Amino acid sequence: MKNIFLAAAMLTTIVSCGQKELVTDAPVTPPPVVPPVVASFRVLDSTQMDNDLKALSSDAFKGRKAGMAEVVLSHQLIQSRLRQAGVDSFATGFMQEFSYLGLDRKNFLGLVKGTLYPDKYIVVGAHFDHLGVDGSGVVYHGADDNASGVAATLAMAKYFHQHKPTHSIIFALWDGEEIGLRGSAYFVNNLPAGLDLSKIKFNLNADMLARSDNNSIWASGLSHYPEYAYLVDSIKSKSATQLKSGYDKPTDPQDWTFLSDHGSFYNKNIPYLYLGVEDHPDYHKVTDTYDKINPDRFTENANIFAQMAILLDRKLN
Ligand SMILES: [Zn+2]
């Protein structure tokens, strides 16, 4: 039905333009086409993001926990997306392996080199691990926490390969966040060859982008780094989601400074911004499932994350 109305509207436009031309006998200058804000704001591949969120949070992926055989499905999905995106890897490949509590764990790192400042790096990241299964074998799906952040980060790798940034960007998918930010901590203490901490200028961390039941999402970290307030100020007026700032000091209801992987960067005095929704009733429960996601809200929030990276790349010294 929508297509029929659209066709009718186009026909009306054509007819009215034709009538105008006949009456005035003047050349018709079409009005400039101003794209709606939403079209330019949403730059990420929403179909890919939806597919990845759905797959990562499915029963088959068994809660994405190191030590379980099925965790290999998460590794394969992440690696194949990085490969499809066309991004580079460090010399040892996309995988950064480490061991913790006797289990092999894996971070994944994609790289797009900057066109103007290749030695200045922004790390865009999200943890892919979650809680496995409960004592009865029921899967902790982790759709919001954090299949959502992974799907957004992988879509950003694709976007920035096609729209080259001026600074180098590392797209990081962390393991071991749920057991104490282990993957990101390993990374900052064991950087790939050629990289040192002084070259890492910022960390953007996504953890829980998809629920936003009250239509709000939080940017946390600006009380530590107020000079980056522009990342919130410039974007909040452009988004349908209410983008709020807080949860980063002791006087707030909660202080999220060390509650996700940005904490590993904060420990090294690297500025960060964390984007995520408030805790919800399904947080860390087996009911954090794909069907609870509002796809449009998720798409919007993932694009807030992307717009922060685009702006940061433009403004970072
Ligand atoms: Zn999380």
Sheet-wide strand order for 242-245: 95-100, 103-112, 167-174, 117-127, 200-206, 272-276, 216-220, 242-245
Ligand 1 centroid, distance to 40 Cα (angstroms): 29
> Which two three-digit tokens encode residue 66?
């190191």
pLDDT value of position 14: 35
Ligand 1 centroid, distance to 182 Cα (angstroms): 12
Residues in the chain, how many? 317
Beta carbons within 10 angstroms of residue 88's beta carbon: 13
Q: Is the dihedral of CA 184, 186, 188, 191 positive or negative?
A: negative
Ligand 1 centroid, distance to 126 Cα (angstroms): 8
pLDDT, tens digit, 9 for 90 and up, residues 104-153:
999 999 999 999 999 999 999 999 999 999 999 999 999 999 999 999 99
pLDDT value of position 183: 98
Contact 210, 288 (CB under 8 A): no
pLDDT value of position 40: 85
What percent of the chain is predicted at pLDDT more than 70? 88
For residue 187, pLDDT beyond 50: yes
pLDDT band at 32 (very low <50, low <70, confident <90, very high): low
Ligand 1 centroid, distance to 147 Cα (angstroms): 9
Ligand 1 centroid, distance to 208 Cα (angstroms): 6
Ligand 1 centroid, distance to 291 Cα (angstroms): 18
Nearest to 183 by CA among 150, 211, 208, 160: 150
Contact 121, 268 (CB under 8 A): no
For residue 233, pLDDT beyond 80: yes
10: CB partners within 8 A, 6+ apart: none
The residue written with tokens 């379980």 in the block is: 68
Cβ-based burial of 199 (10 A; exposed 0-12, middle 13-18, buried ≥19): middle
Ligand 1 centroid, distance to 21 Cα (angstroms): 60
Ligand 1 centroid, distance to 131 Cα (angstroms): 10
> Which two three-digit tokens encode residue 311?
């702006």
> Which two three-digit tokens encode residue 193?
């060859």
pLDDT band at 317 (very low <50, low <70, confident <90, very high): confident
Ligand 1 centroid, distance to 178 Cα (angstroms): 7
Ligand 1 centroid, distance to 144 Cα (angstroms): 8
pLDDT band at 223 (very low <50, low <70, confident <90, very high): very high
Ligand 1 centroid, distance to 309 Cα (angstroms): 20
Residue ranges with strand state E in the chain: 95-100, 103-112, 117-127, 167-174, 200-206, 216-220, 242-245, 272-276
What does the alpha-carbon distance between residue 148 and residue 151 come to, in Å, rounded to a whole number? Answer: 5
Beta carbons within 10 angstroms of residue 183's beta carbon: 28
Ligand 1 centroid, distance to 103 Cα (angstroms): 20
CA R_g for the chain: 22
For 280, phi then psi, to 5°, come to: -130, 170
Beta carbons within 10 angstroms of residue 198's beta carbon: 9
Ligand 1 centroid, distance to 292 Cα (angstroms): 16
> Which two three-digit tokens encode residue 59?
């029963």
For residue 13, pLDDT beyond 60: no
Ion ligand 1: protein residues whose beta carbon lies under 5 Å: 145-146, 207
Ligand 1 centroid, distance to 185 Cα (angstroms): 15
Going from the N-terminus, what domains does the chain have, and what CATH number goes with each?
41-315 (3.40.630.10)
